[in-house]
Amino acid sequence: MQWHCDEVEVQGTLVGEDGKEMVESLELWRRDPVECIQELLGNPAFRDEMRYEPERVYADAGAKTRVFDEM
């Protein structure tokens, strides 16, 4: 997965030595989150454990006690 570097310019309110407002240049390093999700969902190591749809889990047959453990 490719890393991208974006330049972020922050313009401040304090005035610098040249009489203009100070500008700070910063770098944002990032990767595409959609690609990362693809990586995670497609990982065959998780094949048996992955859940693809939400489910409601109950502790007893009468569905009286709800269980909350995974998301």
Total length of the chain: 71
d(CA 71, CA 48): 17
DSSP conformation class of 48: T
The residue within the footprint of another protein, chosen from 3, 18, 19, 56 (CB under 8 A), is: 3
> Residue 31 in 3-state DSSP?
strand
Range 6-65, binding another protein (CB under 8 A): 6, 8, 10-14, 16, 21-24, 26-34, 36-47, 49-52, 57, 59, 65
Residues that bind another protein (CB under 8 A): 1, 3, 5-6, 8, 10-14, 16, 21-24, 26-34, 36-47, 49-52, 57, 59, 65-71
